[in-house]
Structure 1
């Protein structure tokens, strides 16, 4: 095979896959490599057979036997939901990758409050149909939502409060009750911790309020067949269609930088340093002018000399978790969460939902972290008929001495009890507990390699992580393009537009609603 490439991308996580697709569509010669035998890296979607093999190579604890038809399940290692408006949806449509996947509206968002589940109002109509709030509280919530949906940056209410905890801001500035403030902070702003600051959360809330009604009543979509891993594979397919070369299941044995013009490495006539990648049980050395890698796959001596892509993201949480404790539970029985909220306008049965446990909401649970539970079932093509999947995740602000099972078992027990009904009992078939380590990044040194780009771990945030992936991917594409083409001179006249992120699809009509498959 021809082993000379413009770009080598290491890792098939969502960010790397979006980047590879964009570079391939822009005409660059791309090789995309992953030591795993599957796409998606830490966001992969796996069958239960594949999950069992994955558990053998990771510090995971499982209980229960594999159920029959294990290959009919598609489980995600890092589940997320997709805001209906945002950079990821834009990339999904502009790239054409929406044709490779299918999506549906997320059924419900509910919060665990006082031992019961309550629907979270997502619109003005939902608020005034809700009988659990007083009229005065409804007016205060409506006033806040009108503030959050607008241009709040220069509003008097926010002045001097940008870095105060959101919970304090809601109660002091808008006089909301503690219960309502918690619902907004954790199930509309999706804060992880009580100390998260106001401005980033407001940016998230504004995005979700604008997304409501885009494709239906929910602000979020959920992907079929496991979500993020299936979507990453779609971007890999787009790269392959444009000429990208894929090599999976080959561990990386060596990554080295070489000076251009060395007789042993006559790669390309370029003034840039070049890189050589060697793979286990693979006959050819692979050469490139630009190397893009997840931080997890870069050796330490190269990680410190890489240009780490860190664009400013206004909706970024003020506190980033150290790790994520995760649980995947397979349930015998359909998953439909009951609610005590009458007249909420959101009583439709759905097996896809997002359940939020605020800090201190559960006896024996966490006092410092919000816990999210994503449910999926046959409606998302993730499980056979009559079965369901629970994804439970807890962000950890620092290293923990407790296992994932110790941290999450109380939440699994509670969710199972909430799912029980007189007509049909649900039983736990199998559960897997594991820690997802988030590789830390150190800023590049002054002698960093030109053309060596490191992509940080995908944000584990259940609602904004997928948008951050698209933002980081575009920033990585721009840097790689600059490395490969050099600093372009301003040859065009004033008003000339910058080359698009998806340049080969510039003539696509603006028909976003028709491109998504349902």
Structure 2
């Protein structure tokens, strides 16, 4: 195997996979490496037995990490016994939904990766209120059919939605209040009741906390309002077979079709920057390599001009010299939580949530839905953080017939000192109570995912060394931020390589080649 590449990408997370696919499609020679034996890194989709191995790996891993530390997970309780038919489950380590309008859906379509996966509309968005669930209206008709809301409240709500769906940046209502708490803005400027304002804040803007700022929340709402109706009544799509991990694998497939080399299940044992004039380990190429990588069980070093890596896979001495990509998208400027408390629960039986009393579409049952618990909505629950419960079942090919998966997550602004189980057990109990009595809990795993953000530590970064952040854990915005980060990484890599590869890449061609061009190059006999 030729050991010289234009680009080496470390990690097969969603951002890295999109970047690798775009670079490969653009004609660059790419090698993509991941120490895990599966695609998706910390956003992977795993079977139940793979999930059990993943838990054991992070619980028991006390080996010396010579290249970089692993992401920090703290497990409390795990499935003591893997349920039957474990391979028929696709469990997401980073559950998310896809806005029907935005940078990520654009990348899916423009790259052709949408052909490698299957998607469906998110069934329902419901909010927990005083022991019952209420559907969040998804259209003007839903609002006016709602019998629990007064006519005056409906008119105020419609006025706000028209405002949020338009060009509000220079509006009189927003001036001077861009950084004010969004919940206060709704009640003071649009005179909405506390119940309606909380529903908008937590189940339409998807805020984590009560003090989140108004402007980014409005940006998110505008995106979702404009997304509604593109593919159906819901603003969101859900990926089959676990979501993000399966989609990351689709981008890796596109990269491989473009000629990229994949190395999975092999650890990077040494990673170093090289002086192009260094006589040791010469590379027979007109473009002297800037980086050299040693991979476990590979006889020769791999060399590249540009190195792109997840921040968690870079050793400290290189991370401090990397150009760390900072995604810029207005709707993603929510505060970064300290950690995410997570629960994955396997349920025997249907996971279809009961219909609210005012719902006129009770027959439209879906096992793919999103339940939101606002702060202070559950006795014994959090008073500061919203909690999201995402359901997945046979309808998304994530579980065998008669089974379901519950994903429960809570963003924490700081270290609470409490375990993930202590924080989330009341919510799991509440959700199980909402389901039919014959449902039983098959197994559950509680863990804390500590989030680490890396800021640039130097203005004198190494040429060609790019670091991408881990996927934003925000349920509705994470994939869009991944697409934004991938495009920024792509253009920086092109700038690094453009001098040597002018003949291969025309900057006017855009982020992705045309679909017609890709289809012509791929043909009809692709094997995967």
What is the CA-CA distance between 1:339 and the residue it aligns to? 2.9
What residue number does 1:143 align with?
Answer: 159
2:307 matches 1:291:
yes
Deviations 1:425-452 (A, max 9, x none): 1000010111222222021413210100
TM-score by length of 2: 0.92
What residue number does 1:478 align with?
Answer: 491
What residue number does 1:23 align with?
Answer: 23
Residue 257 to residue 164, structure 1, CA distance change in 2 (3 Å):
same
What is the CA-CA distance between 1:399 and the residue it aligns to? 2.5
2:513 matches 1:503:
yes
For structure 1, the 5+ residue unaligned runs are 490-495, 510-518
Deviations 1:255-293 (A, max 9, x none): 10001132224334347x601111122222110000000
What residue number does 1:282 align with?
Answer: 298
For structure 2, the 5+ residue unaligned runs are 60-74, 520-528
Distance (whole Å) between structure 1 residues aligned to residue 328 and residue 302 of structure 2: 33
What residue number does 1:75 align with?
Answer: 91
Distance (whole Å) between structure 2 residues aligned to residue 442 and residue 103 of structure 1: 35
2:134 matches 1:118:
yes
What is the CA-CA distance between 1:497 and the residue it aligns to? 7.5
Deviations 1:398-449 (A, max 9, x none): 223211111111111110011124xxx1000010111222222021413210
2:186 matches 1:173:
no
Residue 481 to residue 505, structure 1, CA distance change in 2 (3 Å):
farther
Match 1:398 to one of 409, 414, 422: 414
What is the CA-CA distance between 1:507 and the residue it aligns to? 5.6
Distance (whole Å) between structure 2 residues aligned to residue 181 and residue 355 of structure 1: 17
Residue 506 to residue 486, structure 1, CA distance change in 2 (3 Å):
farther
Distance (whole Å) between structure 1 residues aligned to residue 189 and residue 102 of structure 2: 28
Aligned pairs for 1:87-486 within 5 A: 87-267=103-283, 268-270=285-287, 274-343=290-359, 345=361, 348-421=364-437, 425-486=438-499
Deviations 1:85-112 (A, max 9, x none): 1111110011111111000000000001
What is the CA-CA distance between 1:506 and the residue it aligns to? 6.6
What is the CA-CA distance between 1:238 and the residue it aligns to? 0.5
Distance (whole Å) between structure 2 residues aligned to residue 200 and residue 174 of structure 1: 18
Tell me, what secondary structure is at the counterpart of 1:170?
helix
Tell me, what secondary structure is at the counterpart of 1:278?
strand
What is the CA-CA distance between 1:194 and the residue it aligns to? 0.7
Match 2:101 to one of 79, 82, 85: 85
Deviations 1:47-105 (A, max 9, x none): 00100101101243213421111100110011000011111111001111111100000
What is the CA-CA distance between 1:251 and the residue it aligns to? 1.2
Deviations 1:222-250 (A, max 9, x none): 00000000000000000001100000111
Distance (whole Å) between structure 2 residues aligned to residue 497 and residue 290 of structure 1: 18
What residue number does 1:513 align with?
Answer: none
> Could you tell me whether the CA contact under 8 Å between 1:129 and 1:345 is conserved in 2?
no
Deviates more, 1:6-15 or 1:435-444: 435-444
Deviations 1:117-148 (A, max 9, x none): 00001221110011111111100000000000
Deviates more, 1:410-419 or 1:316-325: 316-325
Distance (whole Å) between structure 2 residues aligned to residue 498 and residue 169 of structure 1: 43
Distance (whole Å) between structure 2 residues aligned to residue 500 and residue 314 of structure 1: 22
What residue number does 1:52 align with?
Answer: 52
Deviates more, 1:245-254 or 1:431-440: 431-440
2:3 matches 1:3:
yes
Residue 48 to residue 108, structure 1, CA distance change in 2 (3 Å):
same
Distance (whole Å) between structure 2 residues aligned to residue 506 and residue 310 of structure 1: 32
Q: What is the RMSD computed on CA atoms of the aligned residues? A: 1.8
Residue 285 to residue 505, structure 1, CA distance change in 2 (3 Å):
same
What is the CA-CA distance between 1:499 and the residue it aligns to? 2.8
> Could you tell me whether the CA contact under 8 Å between 2:345 and 2:443 is conserved in 1?
yes
Tell me, what secondary structure is at the counterpart of 2:185?
helix
Distance (whole Å) between structure 2 residues aligned to residue 446 and residue 317 of structure 1: 23
Deviations 1:166-188 (A, max 9, x none): 00000000000111001000000
Distance (whole Å) between structure 2 residues aligned to residue 309 and residue 56 of structure 1: 31
Distance (whole Å) between structure 1 residues aligned to residue 138 and residue 177 of structure 2: 24
Distance (whole Å) between structure 2 residues aligned to residue 210 and residue 366 of structure 1: 32
